[in-house]
Chain A
């Protein structure tokens, strides 16, 4: 196990180095950041001084080395716009993104699991067809347009729910979160629902195909022979065995929540990391863009690693070294 973990961590470090190099080269080599920072009237001499002060006169690989050294100290540079360290800006926004993702994840399970169970149980019946076409419709809806429609209907026309910002923020265990206030829940409902639909469609499809597979197995036939009720067979015997494939899509789900969260946060004016990214791109605030991308890539590598380890822990048939017993 320790050897496996070590291998995974070293792989992750290599990927992270590679990605940081790509992003660094992409963002820093393409344009001269000085043109953004300095007014057009500056003299040549001042330009050279500023260039030296910012370390931009050094060769590109030296700049990258210095940047890497900064990264190891948790230093992602200072934002051009806010003039605060990038890492602080991002960490400030993290709780909002995480709480939106968690609620959306919960919603997607509440919507996805029952529908998937029904579709799998009545497979190839009209109910199944309707649910499956419905799930295709759910992931065909562009996230941003669906969000705007939700705002149009529930916030503008019906005026049931607010359509922007986090609302009243309380603290729980020292973390600022809007999940402890009623106003916060009113604010999170629409964006979380918007973010959940796409994942719910994935869960429906996965649950259905897993249930279909399980329902044709011997032990289900045996349970039927014992005269158990359909309800008990489905919920107790079949459902338990589809939990492993469900956990393996967890990583995929979390990834989607982070990625599509960027769009949902922008549409609903939710003050999370994704909104920060889009605003920073619009303001060409490069340190924040690079910092955000690095933080997100790190998050993804961690998620993928945790899911892989979880998978091996849940299913004893899969050996740690990756082969099947």
Chain B
């Protein structure tokens, strides 16, 4: 309980530091929070469920932003797409999918990668050689290419996408965790903890992990943004989520078919939502890096 309170206070301290050090990043953090909350509450606040055919009126197709639906019930603030779906609702549902997939993938990659990195720093020797060689091989290839290869082999789908992202991203956490843990392993408190003959699990999770968290947090934010971008890119190519699932990438793909018919809001708004999501995460991650970096701390 006390550690939970300490952690909350620590996180609040970070937010406060961000507010004083970089007002711009603080604004981005607020926007990001609003976007996350809105997408989480999509079923409650969206004017319609765009993936429920009963609610969608096909005769409302391709209405420009600000139009009112035929039965007068909904004002389409961002217009409708070629199937008559409310674009604002579709974007909220799409953001939800994006955040779920990239969040899930980033958390899983964080857990797997950190454990791999920490254990390679803790055990050294053969364990380290095997894990770090795997990391080196992966880091020779761009993340998007690895994810694309995996999706090309296993096919589109929610589950496959999460697996592909985790496989493509865990090495970044492993590398960071290992280099942080190597420094900590040389500290006296680790020697003391080892002398107490604590179980290895406790040594790694309770003593080593908390002290390696700050750099991992930074990698987490940057990889989260990257995962969201890759999810959208792969969905756009038809290699991401399956076609009946809401996704910003698929919305943009649909919008791109309307590029010559003047319905450009169908292309612009889903992309803008995606950019806002990725940009705010990146800015927050970048400032977090500066705040947590002892060299730049004032």
Contact of A140 among B233, B259, B278 (CB under 8 A): B278
Interface of A is mostly: helix
Q: A26-B153, A139-B282 are in contact. Are A151 and B259 (CB under 8 A)?
A: yes
Interchain CB contact under 8 A, A148 and B233: no
Are A259 and B271 touching (Cβ within 8 A)?
no
Q: Are B286 and A136 in contact (CB under 8 A)?
A: yes
Q: A34-42, A44-52, A293-301: which one contacts chain B?
A: A293-301
Contacts of B154 in A (CB 8 A): 26, 30
Instruction: Give min CB distance, A313 to chain B, whole Å.
Output: 20
Docked complex Cα distance between A300 and B267 (Å) = 34
Whether B275 contacts A142 by the Cβ 8 Å rule is yes
Question: Which one of B140, B152, B238, B249 lies within 8 Å of A300 (CB-CB)?
Answer: B140
Provide the residues of chain B in CB contact with A300, threshold 8 Å.
140-141
Any chain A CB within 8 A of the CB of B142? Answer: yes
A62 at the interface (CB under 8 A from B): no
What is the interface size of chain B, counting residues whose CB is below 8 A from a CB of the partner? 37
- Let me know if B239 is at the binding interface, CB within 8 A: yes
Q: Is A137 an interface residue (CB 8 A)?
A: yes
Tell whether, in the assembled complex, residue A148 and residue B283 are in contact, meaning their CB atoms are under 8 Å apart.
no
Verify B271–A140 contact, CB threshold 8 A.
no
For A293, list chain B residues within 8 Å (CB): 149, 152
Q: What per-residue 1/0 map shows which CB atoms of A140-162 lie under 8 Å from chain B?
A: 11111100110110001000000
* A76-84, A89-97, A102-110, A260-268: which lies at the interface: A260-268
* Contact in complex: B142, A266 (CB < 8 Å): no
Q: Which of A141, A156, A258, A278 contacts B237 (CB 8 A)?
A: A278
Q: Are B140 and A137 in contact (CB under 8 A)?
A: no
Contacts of A145 in B (CB 8 A): 232, 236, 252, 267, 271, 274-275
Chain A residues near B274: list those with CB within 8 A: 142, 145
Q: Is B145 an interface residue (CB 8 A)?
A: yes
Q: Are A141 and B153 closer than 8 Å at their CB atoms? A: no
Q: Are B145 and A136 in contact (CB under 8 A)?
A: no
Contacts A144-B252, A263-B233 known; A156 to B260 CB distance under 8 Å? yes
B residues 227-241 near A (Cβ < 8 Å) are 229, 232-233, 236-239
Q: Does A256 contact B (CB under 8 A)?
A: yes
Q: Mark A273-304, 1 if CB is under 8 A from B, else 0.
A: 00001100110000001000100110011001
Residues of B within 8 A of A141 (CB): 275
Query: Would you call B145 and A296 a contact (CB within 8 A)?
Result: yes
Closest to B149 in A: A293
Within 8 A of B (CB), among A115-152: 132-133, 136-137, 139-145, 148-149, 151-152
- Beta-carbon nearest neighbor of A137 in chain B: B279
Are A148 and B252 in contact (CB-based, < 8 A)? yes
* Residue with the highest number of chain A CB atoms closer than 10 Å, among B137, B239, B274: B137
Complex Cα–Cα for A289 and B153 (A):
9
- Please measure, in the bound complex, the distance between the C-alpha atom of A152 and the C-alpha atom of B252, giving whole angstroms: 13
Question: Is A255's beta carbon under 8 Å from chain B?
Answer: yes
Instruction: Please indicate the chain A residues that have their CB under 8 angstroms from the CB of B144 in the complex.
Output: 259-260, 263
Of the four ranges (under 10, 10 to 19, 20 to 34, 35 or more), the interface on chain A belongs to 35 or more
| Of the residues A142, A258, A301, contact of B278 by C-beta under 8 Å | A142
* Cα A23 to Cα B154 with chains together (Å): 11
* Inter-chain contact A259/B142, CB cutoff 8 Å: yes
Say if the beta carbon of B159 comes within 8 Å of chain A: no
Is the CB–CB distance between A152 and B259 below 8 Å? yes
Residues of the A chain whose Cβ atoms lie less than 8 Å from the Cβ of B232: 142, 144-145
Is A15 close to B, CB under 8 A? Answer: yes
Once A152-B264, A296-B145 are accepted as A-B contacts, the answer to whether A15 and B233 lie under 8 Å apart by CB is: no
- Docked Cα-Cα span, A141 to B276, in Å, equals 9
The yes or no answer to B225 lying at the interface (CB within 8 A) is: yes
| CA of A133 to CA of B229, assembled, Å | 18
Q: Is residue B245 within 8 Å, beta carbon to beta carbon, of the partner chain?
A: no
A144 and B236 contact, CB distance less than 8 A: yes
B148 within 8 A of A: yes
A152 to B258, CA, bound (A): 10
Say whether A259 contacts B145, CB under 8 Å: yes
- Give chain A nearest CB distance to B174 CB in angstroms: 18
Minimum Cβ distance to chain A for residue B155 (Å): 9
B268 at the A interface (CB under 8 A) = yes
Q: Which 6 A-B pairs have the closest CB atoms?
A: A145-B271, A26-B153, A259-B142, A140-B279, A259-B145, A140-B278
Interface residues in chain A, defined as those with a beta carbon under 8 Å from any beta carbon in chain B: 15, 23, 26-27, 30, 132-133, 136-137, 139-145, 148-149, 151-152, 156, 255-256, 258-260, 262-263, 266-267, 277-278, 281-282, 289, 293, 296-297, 300-301, 304
Knowing that A15-B137, A258-B145 touch, tell me 17 more A-B residue pairs with CB under 8 angstroms: A132-B286, A133-B24, A136-B283, A136-B286, A137-B279, A142-B274, A144-B233, A145-B236, A148-B255, A152-B267, A255-B141, A256-B142, A259-B141, A260-B142, A260-B144, A262-B145, A281-B238
Can you name 5 A-B pairs with beta carbons within 8 Å?
Answer: A144-B236, A259-B142, A259-B145, A289-B152, A297-B141
